[in-house]
Every structure is written in structure tokens, then in C-alpha cells.
Amino acid sequence: MKGIPQVVLSCLLAAVTVSCGEKSTPNEKEDTVDLKATLSILRDSKDPAQLEAAAVSLCKAKAAEALRNLVPILRDAKFLQRLDSEQDYEDHEDQLRIRSVLQAMGRSPSSQAVQALEEISEDKGFIGDLARLEALIDACGLLEKPSPKLLTFLDSQAQPGGVMTNRVTGTLARIGSAEACQLIEKRLLSKDYDQSFKVSCFTEDLIEYRNRPGVVGLYKRFLRSDALGPKLREIVVLTLFDYRRLEWYKTAHNAPVAPPRGDASTGVLTEVLECADLALKLDVPQEVKERVKVARKEIEDILAGRKAQKEPATPQPKSEERPKAQ
């Protein structure tokens, strides 16, 4: 949060005694908020940092009433002007305070979080600004389970040649559900999207989430199909089994990073081994197949290590007792 005094953070983000209409226990105090006082700040304050802290505190509250009250405020153009100035939009659009608020909403423990983002996604004035639209798309990827309505919203923002298409693909990959991956698959199979976009889907969007079950399932379907053609087939194999930072990203400082194999679940790693068997049967360069073999060996070693940790040690035979000395 930009330039926010520590005392403001302490007052607004720490636990307070008045909750949003719900009883709290000592262990839940960090999720409660003084709703009346916070709404007063959001209504009257002209301090952007204070407004941000107040809005974030409502997002962190479990009570549904907190987000119900916050959403109309976030849809108010005059409030948005108090939160982020025109100069902020021009100079720091990737650090806008509204982005911080939406990220907190995406991570909110409230049962109201999905509906709150749905309502914001329907506000044409809100999403009419590209910086806010970007922030909203990213926030959807933080939800544990986005609704069908939010998936439809994301789908609508990923048009051929659109400025948000890759961003949406990354968000769908982060969500990683079967439904989200089907939306990615639809675009990769469509003739309306060009080859460069499809390559970037794998090298920029999917590779970061290749440990997720839904994403591995997507890879597996493509490895079983010739629908993508030889060039994309090679990219599919490489982005699942290799990571070529200099070749794919040159000197980009914010290049995607492939997750460690060891972070994947045993079920995912087992499925990736099945993908390796499929990849080795494809008509791809031998050098590509060698990378598959290296990755497969790494995964086999990880699985063997996990199995060894679970199995009890083999009991040693008892040594024969020697007769006691007389």
C-alpha cells in the first residue's frame, strides 16, 4: 500500500471488537471489522491510503455484510477518483489501490466474495477502464472456485486479437478447474486465434501452472491429438517437460517460472509420467524426446522417494541370544 501510515494500518487492518453482525470468538478477531466506522471512512475520507486500508479491511472480514456494503462503493465513480487519481492511472496503473482492494476481495474468506466480483464484472463503467479490468481479471484467479457467471465473464474478455486474451488465459490456468481448462482448450483449437497466440498460451500462461491437475489433463488431451499441428505439438511437449528461459523469454525480467516438480501431488506426477509415454511416441525431434526422458527420470526419482518414506523399514531379524556367562 503506497505511503500508508503504520497507525492507519493498525487501526483498520488489525482486529477490532465490533463485528459485522456476527458473533466472534477470540480466534476470529482478525476477521472482524467495525463496519460503521469503516463505512464512515469510505464515505468521507479524502486520503487514498486510508480509503485503501478501509476497503481491504472489509474484504478480510468473514461477514457477508462487509462485502455487500463495499461493492456499491467500489462501483461509485466518485469514490474511484478519490481512491486513485488520474495521475495514478497514467503513471502507476500496475500499482493502483483498486488493484490491491480487488486482490483482497479475491482472497476474501467471505462467502460473498464470488457474488461481489460478479457484480463488479457487470458494471460497464468499472470495467470500461483497462487497468481496472486487468485487476478484476487477476482477482478472479485468486478465488477458490469462481462461479460459472465469472467464467463466462472471463471468456467474454478473451476475443481473438484482444488485449486481455493472454491475461484471461493465465487466469484460467491459475484457476485450473476442468471448466476453466475447457475454455483454454476451446481457443487453442479455434482457427480464429493465430499461431503466435497459441504458442504464448503454453510458454507464458500454462507453464506456470503445469503442476495443476486440470492443466495436466489439458496437456494430456493435446498429446493424444494431432489437432494442433507439428509446431505446436513440439511446444506442448517442451512446456510440460522442459523450461527454456533464454530461448522463450530472452532477457525479460518478469518471465514465467516453471514450478518445481517436487511441489506437484503424487497423482499429478503419475499423470505426467503417462504424458511422457505419449510424448515419446510422437513425431518430435530426438532432442525434445531426450528432455522428456530427463524429466521422466526426475519424476520417477521423486515418486520413489515418496514411496520409500511411506513404507515401514524392513524389520531386522533378531540376533540369537547368547547364553549368559556363568
At 78, the amino acid letter reads K
Q: For residues 42 and 33, what is the distance between their CA atoms, to the nearest angstrom?
A: 13
- Other CB atoms closer than 10 Å to residue 325's CB: what's the count? 4
Tell me, letter by letter, the H, E, C secondary structure of 158-204: CCCCCCCHHHHHHHHHHHCCHHHHHHHHHHHHCCCCCHHHHHHHHHH
pLDDT of residue 314: 57
Work out the pLDDT band at 14, boundaries 50, 70, 90: very low
Print burial letters for 92-102: b (CB count within 10 Å at least 16), e (below 16).
Answer: ebeebbbbbbb
Work out the pLDDT band at 318, boundaries 50, 70, 90: very low
Q: Is 213 helix (H, G, I), strand (E, B) or coil?
A: helix
CB-side neighbour CA atoms (13 Å) of 210: 28
Residue 228 C-alpha cell reads as 494442433
CB-side neighbour CA atoms (13 Å) of 149: 9
pLDDT of residue 87: 94
Work out the pLDDT band at 6, boundaries 50, 70, 90: very low
Closest CA relative to residue 100, chosen from 63, 132, 73, 130: 132
- pLDDT greater at residue 53 or residue 2: 53
pLDDT at 317 exceeding the cut of 60: no
pLDDT at 153 exceeding the cut of 90: yes
What are the distances in angstroms from CA 146 to CA 143, 201, 217, 235, 317? 6, 21, 19, 29, 56
Work out the pLDDT band at 313, boundaries 50, 70, 90: low
% of the chain with per-residue pLDDT over 90: 78
- Asked if residue 172 lies in contact with residue 181, where contact means CB atoms within 8 angstroms, the answer is yes
pLDDT of residue 315: 55
Mean pLDDT of 159-171: 94
Question: The pTM is what?
Answer: 0.82
Work out the pLDDT band at 321, boundaries 50, 70, 90: very low
pLDDT of residue 8: 44
pLDDT of residue 16: 36
What's the whole-number average pLDDT of the chain? 87
Q: Phi/psi of residue 42, each to 5°?
A: -65, -30
pLDDT of residue 31: 57
Q: For residues 282 and 277, what is the distance between their CA atoms, to the nearest angstrom?
A: 9
pLDDT at 97 exceeding the cut of 90: yes
pLDDT at 201 exceeding the cut of 90: yes
pLDDT at 297 exceeding the cut of 60: yes
